[in-house]
Chains A and B, each alone.
Chain A
Amino acid sequence: MLELFIGGFQNILSPWCLLLMILGTFVGIIFGAIPGLSSVMAIALFLPVTYGMDPGQGIAVLIALYIGSVSGGLISAILLKIPGTPSSIATCFDGHPLVEKGEGAKALGVGIFFSFIGTMISIVALIFISPTIAKVAIKFGPHEFFSIAFFSLTLIITLSTGSMVKGLFSGVLGIMFSTVGIAPIEGVQRYTFGTVALSDGFNILTVMIGLFAVSEVIKVAEHSKYIVEEEVVEINLKVKGMGFSLKELKSQTINAVRSALIGLGIGILPGIGSGTSNLVAYTVAKNQSKNPEKYGKGCIDGIVASETSNNASVGGALIPLMTLGIPGDGVTALLLGAFMVHGISPGPLLFRNYGDLVYTIFAACIVASILMVILEWYGLRIFAKVLKIPKHILLPIVFVLCVVGAFALSNRIFDVFSVIIFGIIGYLFMKLSIPQAPFVIGFVLGGMTETNFRRALMLGDSDYTVFLTNPISGLFIGITILFIGSILIKNIKSNKKEECSIYE
């Protein structure tokens, strides 16, 4: 293990890779900090840069972007009172009040430091948990993979925010798009209209860029004419250390550990991640606090809970991706695409066949966290200035870079057209309040679910009971049924309550 770790560090500490990781973390923080730009855009933008790199180094750069962008949201949450990403919503609650009290440097210092702590705890969990899961998962056959993928699909769809029907529709539509191309097992063409380009189906990267980047540009157009630039608060950063005392640090130990565990657990679950964990951790911290009335008025406990948990979700989200090949959210779906661009399929075999790559990724997570804390603290003045760049200049540039990234995938205009199609779908989703995440996960897991379903039936002579008689598969199917049942009961109850309140 130690040898693999040393090899991993050697791989990413080469000057070129380290330089790109620094740049990646920096750009990631910027994308996290600017409301409207996202981790997905940052990774999509940088992906072409990694095409020519060694897979380990390429993924390391993308990990740096990921970690930077999750943490970067705290800057605008504290300075503008607008979260840069959904991961930092709860950071606003206490971050900005602290700024108003004249303790902006403390708010930023606490946020950055505990982002680092959260990431490190989740990386330790990733390093110790994932090889164990991979060892078990390596024995899995198509039955188990089918039921796990099926379980993940239902979890994602039902956990998605808003209407359950809309979440389900989004997920099913994603699976439908995954059926375009050559069908597994039989090899027949489906929904290709006789075109060669559609035979390979749609690339995950074009789906992501379209859904998240193009739709955002169109959305900005809705109000761009009337945008009033937000005022960035000036903060005096000439403080001792990171603006907080050792006593304050010690007082946050339990809060930080609890929030990290919440973030980690939520990160592992497919469908929900840092966007949810920061709110859950904040609520739990407030409920457990002896002084809950202080929350929302500028107490560091709220920032600690939010920032520790959202960054802890990073390591959590990487666990199912690396061990089972199942992405938990949009960013990990894009990382899955990045693995595939480099000819590697994440899953249990990754640990057996590409041990060096796995430890390079672990090393990259550690280095990226350190880079994040250094760059974010010492580069605060630059990031505050970047927040002032007008969106009508920034977004078209990001759009062009995303289009170039899609084109560079295989030098064909078809991918660029796909980006536009998914951009229109993404925009329509926004207008109809349909969640986008279930679509992405449905698209990614759809193929995996169908392939394993067909394989399992072939092995079991078309006997459907094999999914229930196989212990692990049966367990996941059972959990899925229980889960769907409980969600349905909850929905019916809440609908009845709603009806009662209307007639009262």
Chain B
Amino acid sequence: MKIKNRSELNFGILIWIVNLLYLFLTVKIKVRSEGVSSRTIPYILCLILGVLGAVQIFKGLNMESKIIKKNESVDKKTVLKVSLLILGYILIFEYIGFLLSTINFLFFMFLILSPENQKINKKRYLFISSIISLSVYIFFKYSLDIMLPEGILGGI
């Protein structure tokens, strides 16, 4: 029995979704000239993506799926924690300032990414994150004349 190749099919659908979104935004571009305009290349790209999506969907519908058991397990919990931490860091970066946000970010990143078989040394992590953050801040401010956000510590 033929089993549809789900991942290939889903990828084809994804291509079409991206394409439709781009096409929708392209139609909205206000052009000033007739014929070749700022919409021309985007339309060509839509055409290419449309064809690619069709090829991929056709491939997905006609290809037997290979059942491959993956040995590697992905630690989704850690991935989620890291992603949220990165997002949080970027959001507070400007408001709280580089120094405080980076010390916190590095400290929690070390904690989250620490291998299970290793003993967590919080004092060491805090020391490394503080030293790194402070060194980067001083180096950028005084050696390169590049101001990093000072945030709530402004002026210190």
Contact = CB atoms under 8 A, between A and B. Distances in A.
Nearest to B38: A183
Contacts of A468: none
A188 interface: yes
Contacts, number: 157
B67 to A, nearest CB: 13
Interface in B108-131: 109-110, 112-118, 128
A432 interface: yes
A158 B47 CA distance: 18
B15 A169 contact: yes
Contact of B132 (A165, A392, A397): A397
A407 B94 CA distance: 10
Which of B89, B128, B146 has the most CB atoms of chain A within a 10 A radius of its CB? B146
Interface residues of B, number: 63
B41 A220 contact: no
Given A186-B38, A218-B83, A396-B113, A52 B102 contact: no
B152 interface: no
A388 B45 CA distance: 46
A165 B115 CA distance: 37
Contact of A222 (B74, B98, B109, B140): B74
Contacts of A223: 72, 74-75
Given A188-B30, A396-B106, A416 B52 contact: no
A257 interface: no
Contact of A172 (B29, B37, B45, B78): B45
Interface in A201-243: 214, 217-218, 220-228
B56 A165 contact: yes
A214 B82 CA distance: 11
A175 B112 contact: no
Interface in A264-307: none
A473 interface: no
Place the interface of chain A in its size category. 35 or more
A172 B52 CA distance: 10
Interface stretch (A35-43, A127-135, A364-372, A450-458): A450-458
Given A188-B38, A221-B113, A400-B106, A51 B86 contact: no
A454 B29 contact: no
B82 to A, nearest CB: 4
B78 A222 contact: yes
A48 B141 CA distance: 12
Interface string A166-184: 1011001101100100011
Interface in A403-426: 403-404, 407-408, 411, 413, 416-417, 420, 423
Contact of B31 (A173, A175, A188, A401): A188
A395 interface: yes
Contact of A190 (B38, B90, B112, B136): B38
Given A179-B41, A224-B115, A416-B93, A400 B48 contact: no
B90 A420 contact: yes
Contact of B115 (A183, A222, A227, A417): A227
Contacts of B156: none
B96 to A, nearest CB: 12
B153 interface: no
A49 interface: yes
A393 interface: yes
Nearest to A409: B146
A502 interface: yes
A191 interface: yes
Interface in A448-503: 449-450, 453-454, 457, 462, 502
A185 B38 CA distance: 8
Contacts of A175: 41, 45
B68 interface: no
A404 B138 CA distance: 13
A172 B110 contact: no
Contacts of A51: 144, 146
B41 A411 contact: no
B79 A218 contact: yes
Contacts of B113: 220-221, 224-225, 391-392, 395-396
Given A224-B113, A396-B110, A217 B146 contact: no
A222 B75 contact: yes
A221 B79 contact: yes
Given A175-B45, A218-B79, A392 B115 contact: yes
Nearest to B139: A49
A60 B110 CA distance: 34
Contact of A48 (B52, B94, B114, B144): B144
Contact of A400 (B22, B35, B74, B132): B132
A176 B109 contact: no
A407 B55 CA distance: 40
A172 B49 contact: yes
Contacts of B29: 183, 188-191
A309 to B, nearest CB: 31
Contacts of B115: 224-228, 390, 392
Nearest to A221: B82
Contacts of A191: 25, 29
A490 to B, nearest CB: 16
A24 to B, nearest CB: 15
A393 B49 contact: no
Interface of B: 11, 15, 18, 22, 25, 29-33, 35-38, 40-42, 45, 48-49, 52, 55-56, 59, 64, 72, 74-75, 78-79, 81-83, 86-87, 89-90, 93-94, 98, 102, 105-106, 109-110, 112-118, 128, 132-133, 136, 140, 144-149
7 contacts: A165-B55, A223-B74, A225-B75, A390-B118, A392-B115, A393-B128, A423-B86
Interface of A: 48-49, 51-52, 165-166, 168-169, 172-173, 175-176, 179, 183-186, 188-191, 214, 217-218, 220-228, 390-393, 395-397, 399-401, 403-404, 407-408, 411, 413, 416-417, 420, 423, 432, 449-450, 453-454, 457, 462, 502
